[in-house]
Each structure stands twice: as structure tokens, then as C-alpha cells.
A = this chain, B = another copy of it.
Amino acid sequence: MAIDDTLKLKIQLLCGDEIAMGPGKADLLEAIVAHGSISAAARAMDMSYRRAWLLVDAMNRCWSAPLVETSPGRAKSGGARLSEAGRRVLDRYRHLQAALDATAHGDLLDGLARELRDAPKAHAAD
């Protein structure tokens, strides 16, 4: 089957028991850049405001400097932007992802993908 449909790579950075960065948090940071507020980013990702706020809160507690800066006033209606640290961490995370993707897509993955069926066989009788 096609190599690009074969591999799923999930890269998480941990701070104690918390996930400091991962695929969902990185996408949320990009949505905040694109939409200018946590609530608009949440809407664009079809996520509740509360969930987006919790992800931002976790990121801001895990890194030395907050990744997301919110305007003073009511958080929900105010704007949000990435701090310098936020832009740097997001950029490095995407680079790490690209480096791992490039490493994966070589002989080892080819060898594995060749042995995969295009689709799973039907369930064996239980």
C-alpha cells in the first residue's frame, strides 16, 4: 500500500506527567496564529473553548516562558498571539517532525510497507 498512508508518527514532549507539546497542541498554536484568538482557533478546530484553553494553559505551565500571550480583559473575547518562545518552540517541533519523517521514509519503512495488505482481511470467525 502507499507509504504515505502507512506511517503515523506521534511526537510528544513531556514535562513531568503533562504533555508540553504534541500534534494537537502544535495545530492549536498554528490556529491561534491564523485566527488571532483562542476562541476563534477553537472554533476553527471544532474544539470547545474550554478544551483549547486547557491546552494553552498546559503549554504555558510546561515551558520556561508562556507560549501564548492573551490580551488583558476577558480572556474569551480577547485576542491571543504566540510569544517569541511560542514561535520558537512551534518551529522546532515542526523541524523535529520533519526530520523524523525524513528518517522514517527510507528502506526500513519500504520493507515494512511491502508486507502490508492494502486493506485488512475480514475478521476471522470469533
Q: Which of A1-43 contact B (CB under 8 A)?
A: 1, 5-16, 18, 20-21
Contact surface of A with B, Cβ cutoff 8 Å: 1, 5-16, 18, 20-21, 57-58, 60-65, 85, 88-89, 92-93, 95-96, 99-100, 103-104, 106, 108-109, 111-113, 115-124
Among candidates B12, B62, B115, residue contacting A117 with C-beta atoms closer than 8 Å: B62
**Complex formed: what's the CA distance from A103 to B64 in Å?**
25
Minimum Cβ distance to chain B for residue A50 (Å):
10
> Mind listing 8 A-B residue pairs with CB under 8 Å?
A7-B11, A9-B10, A13-B116, A15-B120, A16-B119, A57-B124, A61-B122, A100-B104
